[in-house]
Amino acid sequence: MIHNKKLLTFVGTGGVGKTSLSLVVAIQAAKMGRRVAAITVDPSRRLSSLLGLQASENQSKSVRWSSVEKPVDVFYIEPSEVFQGFVQENMKAEFFEKIQNNGIYRQVSQNLRETHNFAALYKTEKIISSGQYDFVVLDTPPCHQVVDFFESPARLQRFFSATVVSDKKGWLSWVQEKGMQVAEKFLKTMVGDDFVSEMDHFFRLVGDVKSQIDQTSQGFISQMQSSDTSLQLVFPPARDKIQDALFLNKEISDNKFKVDSFVLNRAFPVGLDFSEEVALPEDGREKNLYDYYRVQKQRSEEILKDFRSKQVNSDAQFVRLPELHQPMETLEDVLSFSEKVNAHWEVL
Amino acid sequence: MLETKELVFVSGKGGTGKSTVATLLARDLSQRGRSVLLVELAEQSSVQALLQSEKKPQYQPQASGFGFDWCRLQGRDCLVEYVSSFTRLESVTQKFFDSALLKTLVNVAPGLNDLSILGKLTSRIRKHGPAFNYDHIVVDAPSTGSFLSLINAPVTLGKSVARGPLHSQSMGIDKVLKNPECTQFFFVSLYEELPMDELADTLTEFKDDYGEQIRIVMNKALNVSEPAKTSTTWSHFLQRKMQEEQKQGRRAQELWPKGFQLNLFTESFKDFICQDRGEVLRPL
């Protein structure tokens, strides 16, 4: 999956191991001599300090291992800074100055999920098109719903298309012209005049960057749909998470993207050999736990079989990874983890 | 069991078992004779899969079959209900909410969705707007990153407008969230390094504003007293697991001694919850 791809993206709900797996793949690609960038939005504090990144700072760092041919350039994205940078780059200077003081803009740039997603894909686009890398790994941002990420370009386009109507006369007069008394009443009594005028102001200013947002979104969508992009869906062996994964896969294909690998991560503890004789007292807690882990290992194969029968893209890979015990204290530990994953990557 | 307040949010790192803990907490409270509503916010219901229920949770609460009621809230539905309760013109309101205008509005004011949900959850306490009438509301909240922006929505939205009804509503909601007599936060973690790292980060973010309202839940405890002494891959695995549990247990005590422990259950959740074994969330 590394050889003929340019962009590799991990998706999945929170806590399934996306960030660690994306580093693993990045290291493996660097070992093959490829020029690699790894992009992450929300690394854990431990991981950032291991890699020498300062959290809350928008930056990149070249990470080297003596036994790995090429370095891995890790990019840590601070979404609101990236978005601010995008707006500054594409907006007339006088507008940019004004928009800084707009309360709605501050909200949009700091708290809007679509903005965060947009920042991640904008940065990814930039890194790919810089031509400095031949392999980019993207760890998708943590979303309320993972599918938000894939829909964010379309949503953002819809969001900014509201500015079309407000170009000259302003947004509020548009509402009045449309004769939306309920809307007016709602806005005045529940939201308040101050808020409405801030919003009106915001719309007038932000119209300036609309076409650039369209362009970036389109670029990212075609990159995601192209054959040199690979999507990896990661999920754990828990009943409700499998439902989530099936749902996510459906949403992904509805949006005309395609999952290449389904990765069942931490399927069972590594190194447990359930064929050996273990004498344990019946009905004890330890016996229960033993049986629990044994069944879990058996079930992981069934889960993947089940998954295979339920989803549509028949040429996809099904991968099972055990839970690997690897302390993460040093950079060398990250490398050992990568080696272990590589050794245990079991295609079923 | 420690005293539980009216409004309880259950959050934590992804994969730690938030939905499991929220559901068990709802069950424990209802067994004490309280009326309880379990609220989900995610698009895909986790509780439905856990309870192996045919029914999907709806906006209107329904009986779960396990002693508590159950529903799923979306910001838009909360907002429609809230506005309808003032205008009393349901059809006109509906038309307005279906319009592109509102979609834009909800998008532009990013906190508005979150605020509408929090407004609905705190309606009874604030005596404002259409309320849920339960002794306890247990919320299966998003994982920590998104949860922080949910809980901060009233403050961020309140700040973006200095006056007006939106401002005062936001402040009122925030007051309830920060009131130790009304609201509690349960953060779920595991006896493992990464979830504990994230718990430490979360506590740093929350403790100044919500200190005494925070409880932690250490989930999937092994609870083995004396392991059998054999030299098998199993006993090596178990010993390593137990050492890790002790280490992270000490860390939990140092970080936040107030909270609960939940043992790893080896049967399916539905089988587990159907057995009557008293309260399963035990004080740490």
B148 near A CB under 8 A: no
Q: How many angstroms separate the CA atoms of A114 and A123, rounded?
A: 14
Query: Quick one: which of A241, A259, A239, A240 has its CA closest to A249?
Result: A259
A115-119, A299-303, A337-341 — which one is most confidently predicted on average?
A337-341
**Residue of B103, B161, B165 lying closest to A103 (CB–CB):** B161
Beta-sheet pairing, A59-63 with A261-264: unpaired
Chain B residue with minimum CA distance to A265:
B15
Mean pLDDT value across chain A: 82
Rounded Cα–Cα distance for residues A80 and A98 (Å):
17
- The answer to whether residue A145 scores a pLDDT higher than 70 is no
Contact across the interface for A159 and B159, Cβ inside 8 Å:
no
Please give the mean pLDDT across all residues of chain B: 89
How sure is the predictor about A146, in pLDDT bands with cuts at 50, 70 and 90?
A: low
Question: Token pair of A321, please?
Answer: 């990874």
Q: Give the whole-number percent of chain A exceeding pLDDT 90.
A: 28
Chain B's closest residue to A162, CA to CA, is: B104
pLDDT at position B220 is 95
- Rounded to the nearest angstrom, the gap between the alpha carbon of residue A7 and the centroid of all alpha carbons in its chain is 13
Q: Tens digits of per-residue pLDDT, A78-103?
A: 888 888 999 999 999 998 998 888 88
Q: What is the pLDDT of residues B28-83, one digit of tens each?
A: 999 999 999 999 998 888 899 899 999 999 999 999 999 999 999 988 889 888 87
pLDDT of residue B235: 92
| Structure tokens given for B20 | 């499991």
Residue of A nearest to B16 (CA): A15
The 8-class DSSP code of residue A131 comes to S
Per-residue pLDDT band for A164 (boundaries 50, 70, 90) equals very low
Give residue A165's pLDDT band: very low, low, confident or very high (50, 70, 90). very low
What is residue B17's predicted lDDT score, i.e. its pLDDT?
Answer: 93
Which of B101, B107, B108 lies closest to A183 in CB terms? B101
Is B266 in CB contact (< 8 Å) with chain A?
yes
Identify the band that residue A127 occupies on the pLDDT scale cut at 50, 70 and 90: very high
Query: Comparing C-alpha atoms, which of A42, A25, A40 is closest to residue A263?
Result: A25
**Most A CBs within 10 Å: which of B48, B229, B237, as the mutation test of the A interface?**
B237
What band does A161 get if pLDDT is binned at 50, 70 and 90?
low
Q: Report in angstroms the alpha-carbon separations of A204 from A49, A166, A171, A183, A208.
A: 42, 6, 8, 20, 8
How would residue A2 be classed by pLDDT, with cut points 50, 70 and 90? confident
Contact (CB<8Å) A104/B225:
no
- Interface touch B108/A202, C-beta < 8 Å: yes
**Which element (helix H / strand E) includes B85?**
helix B75-87
What is the pLDDT at residue B7? 98
pLDDT tens across A237-283, in order? 887 788 888 888 888 888 788 899 999 999 988 888 888 888 888 88
- Kindly write down the DSSP assignment for every residue of A93-112, as one continuous string: HHHHHHHTT-HHHHHHHHH-
Q: The tokens of B59 are what?
A: 């906006």
Helices vs strands, H then E, count in chain B = 12, 9
Report the C-alpha gap between A229 and A150 in whole angstroms.
14
The one-letter amino acid at B168: S
Backbone angles phi, psi at A239, to 5 degrees: -50, -50
Q: Do B223 and A285 touch (CB under 8 A)?
A: yes
Q: Give the pLDDT confidence of A305-333 residue by residue, as tens digits.
A: 888 887 666 788 899 999 998 888 899 99
Burial (0-12, 13-18, 19+ Cβ within 10 Å), A71? middle
CB contact under 8 A, B228 and A280: yes
pLDDT digits (tens, 9 = 90+) for A188-227: 676 777 777 777 788 778 777 878 888 888 888 888 888 8
- pLDDT of res. A158: 66
The torsion angles phi and psi of B260, rounded to 5 degrees, stand at: -130, 165
pTM score, whole prediction: 0.88
Task: Report pLDDT digits (tens) over B229-257.
Answer: 888 999 999 999 999 999 999 999 999 99
- Nearest by CB to residue B92, choosing from A108, A112, A182, is A182
Q: Which helix (H) or strand (E) holds A138?
A: strand A135-139
| Confidence at residue B200, expressed as pLDDT on a 0 to 100 scale | 94
The pLDDT of residue B44 is: 81
pLDDT of residue A163: 47
Q: Would you say B96 and A184 are in contact if contact means Cβ atoms under 8 Å apart?
A: no
Q: Is B164 in contact with A195 (Cβ distance < 8 A)? A: yes
What pLDDT was estimated at residue B31?
A: 92
CB atoms within 10 A of CB A286: 19
Q: Give the closest residue to A80 by CA, choosing from B42, B149, B207.
A: B149
State yes or no: pLDDT of B98 exceeds 50: yes
Residues of chain B neighbouring A14 (CB-CB closer than 8 A): 13-15, 143, 145
| Top-confidence range, A297-311, B86-100, B253-267 | B253-267
The rounded distance, in Å, linking the Cα atoms of A64 and A27 is 10
E-assigned strands of chain B?
7-12, 36-40, 62-63, 69-72, 136-140, 183-190, 214-221, 259-263, 282-283
Interface test with A, best of B81, B266, B269, B272 (most A CBs within 10 A): B266
Q: pLDDT value at position A69? A: 93
* Chain B CA closest to residue A237: B15
Residue A119 CA neighbour count, 13 Å, CB half: 27
pLDDT bracket for residue B92 (50, 70, 90): low
Structure confidence at residue A166 as a pLDDT band (50, 70, 90): very low
Burial code (b: 16+ CB inside 10 Å, e: under 16) for A213-250 equals beebbebbbebbeeeebbbbbbbbbbebbbbbbbbbbe
Residue from the list B159, B166, B194 with its beta carbon closest to the beta carbon of A191: B166
Provide the percentage of residues in chain B whose pLDDT is more than 90: 61
Looking at CA atoms only, how far is residue B231 from chain A in angstroms? 9
Please name the residues between 53 and 82 in chain B that touch chain A, using a CB distance below 8 Å.
none
Q: Is B96 on the interface with A (CB under 8 A)?
A: yes
Measured distance CA(A103)–CA(B109) in Å, rounded: 10
Asked whether the ipTM of the predicted complex exceeds the cut of 0.90, the reply is no
Residue with the bigger pLDDT between B190 and A298: it is B190
Which token pair is A327?
A: 């302390």
pLDDT higher at A57 or B211: B211
- A198–B160: do the CB atoms touch at under 8 Å? yes
Nearest to B162 among A175, A194, A290 (CB): A194
Contact yes or no for A271 and B237 at CB 8 A: yes
HSE-up of A333 (CA within 13 Å, CB side)? 12
Predicted confidence band of residue A135 (pLDDT cuts 50, 70, 90): very high
